[in-house]
Amino acid sequence: MAKQVSMNHAVELIQSGFPVGMPTETVYGLAARIDQDQALKKIFNYKKRPLFDPLIVHIAEIEQAQKLAKNWDSATQILANKFWPGPLTLVIEKSNLVSDLISSGLTTVGIRWPGHKLAQQLILEAGIPLAAPSANRFGKTSPTKIEHVLTEFTDLPELGVLDGGPCQGGIESTIVKINETADPQKFQLSLLRKGLISSDQIESSLKSEGLDITWVQASGIQAPGQIKHHYMPAIPLIINRRRQKNSYSLSSEIEKRLLEMPTHIDEVELIRPRFPITRIKEINFSLDPELAARELYSELRRSSEDNQAQILLWQQPENLSGFLWDSILERLEKAASLILE
């Protein structure tokens, strides 16, 4: 089983090329030094993550970020100043310090300065930026407590994890791709993943510095957000948007539709319940989106650990509005095996 380690031990592990479980203000990450392919490969192996999914590089001082960038343009500078340390990942053209393993062969790199003190300390003491995806097996629910990481990797005794307490944010960083144009005052932005910082906040901080911003749909590479299934709990999650509540006819429709589903989508295994379905566990989240975000993943994990439950059912309340609910819903929709509209 993975084990809790001290900061000194974590720094030694990083320096000798091993991944470490690292708390951040969003979710726990699985961090490794960016300058050793063997260390980076271990991240993919531990997570069972396909190599086509690029990693975010975590830094703890602005110079580290600048060295990873091909050009450090004004939009990048303004957003870094305004939102770092914090839950915003900037995707920009990379320098040759960023290996193809990190960027999955793309010309860009995602960079973020995490807000958690222990993450900052680990990066500074290791003396090197750390690539870190969320510390969960590929396609599964992200971890927001050390216990989540330890139980996710029970088969990896060599994995050390720092305990940073429960994550305050609870959902992953917002990811924005910054595209330069011929005009140095004009930028095209793409929102690759919704998160704790809104596109309006990003846009207004750039416009207030006199930049001209347009939002464009990302083309080509897919953010994880665009992988159809992600964040999946151990038993299937069903979202019900109908007025019709938990009932016999609803259960039999859910059972019929789950039986018809493929076993895999986008390389992620779809979890199948025990059939016939007799135990449906209803799951609830706070109506306060900040609390809902913070509790989202631990609630999905806790509920699916109920030995009796075969599926989770979330009766989606009407009128959930605002960017934070959009970010939460983006995740729940990918975590769901089935959405009843």
Q: Which residues bind ligand TXA (CB under 6 A)?
A: 24, 26-27, 29, 53-56, 87, 89, 91, 103, 106, 108-110, 112, 114, 132-134, 172-173, 175, 192, 221, 223-224
Length of the chain: 341
Rg, the chain, Cα only = 20
Please choose, out of 114-122, 131-139, 282-290, 330-338, the segment that lies near Mg ion by the rule CB under 5 A.
131-139
- Tell me the closest approach of the beta carbon of residue 329 to ligand TXA, in angstroms: 17
Q: Which lies closer to ligand TXA via its Cβ, residue 93 or residue 258?
A: 93
Q: Which lies closer to ligand TXA via its Cβ, residue 24 or residue 310?
A: 24
Q: Which class for 208: exposed (0-12), middle (13-18), buried (19 or more C-beta within 10 A)?
A: exposed
- Tell me the closest approach of the beta carbon of residue 238 to ligand TXA, in angstroms: 24
Q: Which lies closer to ligand TXA via its Cβ, residue 164 or residue 236?
A: 164
Q: Which lies closer to ligand TXA via its Cβ, residue 87 or residue 273?
A: 87
**Beta-bridge partners for 30:** 21
Per-residue tokens: 149: 């990481």
User: How many residues bind Mg ion, per CB under 5 A?
Assistant: 1
- Tell me the closest approach of the beta carbon of residue 284 to ligand TXA, in angstroms: 24
* Site membership for Mg ion, residue 24 (CB under 5 A): no
Which amino acid is located at 279 in the chain? R
Q: Which lies closer to ligand TXA via its Cβ, residue 26 or residue 64?
A: 26
- Tell me the closest approach of the beta carbon of residue 47 to Mg ion, in angstroms: 9
Q: How far apart are CA 160 and CA 5, in angstroms?
A: 5
- Tell me the closest approach of the beta carbon of residue 142 to Mg ion, in angstroms: 5
Please choose, out of 3-11, 51-59, 79-87, 130-138, the segment that lies near Mg ion by the rule CB under 5 A.
130-138
Per-residue tokens: 148: 């989540």
Q: Name the CA dihedral angle for 225, 54, 48, 88, rounded to a multiple of 10 degrees.
A: -60
Which stretches within the chain are classed as H helix?
7-15, 37-47, 62-68, 74-83, 100-103, 117-126, 146-152, 199-207, 248-259, 289-304, 323-335
Per-residue tokens: 323: 């960017």
For residue 223, the partner it binds in ligand TXA, Mg ion, none, with Cβ less than 5 to 8 A by kind, is ligand TXA
Q: Which residues contact 6 (CB under 8 A, 6 or more apart)?
A: none
* Site membership for Mg ion, residue 141 (CB under 5 A): no
Q: How far is CA 1 from the centre of its chain?
A: 23
3-state SS, residue 335: helix
* Site membership for Mg ion, residue 327 (CB under 5 A): no
Q: How far is CA 225 from the centre of its chain?
A: 9
Q: Which lies closer to Mg ion via its Cβ, residue 22 or residue 211?
A: 22
Q: How far apart are CA 301 and CA 298, in angstroms?
A: 5
Q: Which lies closer to ligand TXA via its Cβ, residue 22 or residue 283?
A: 22
* Site membership for Mg ion, residue 174 (CB under 5 A): no
For residue 108, the partner it binds in Mg ion, ligand TXA, none, with Cβ less than 5 to 8 A by kind, is ligand TXA
By the criterion CB under 5 A, which residues form the site for Mg ion?
A: 134
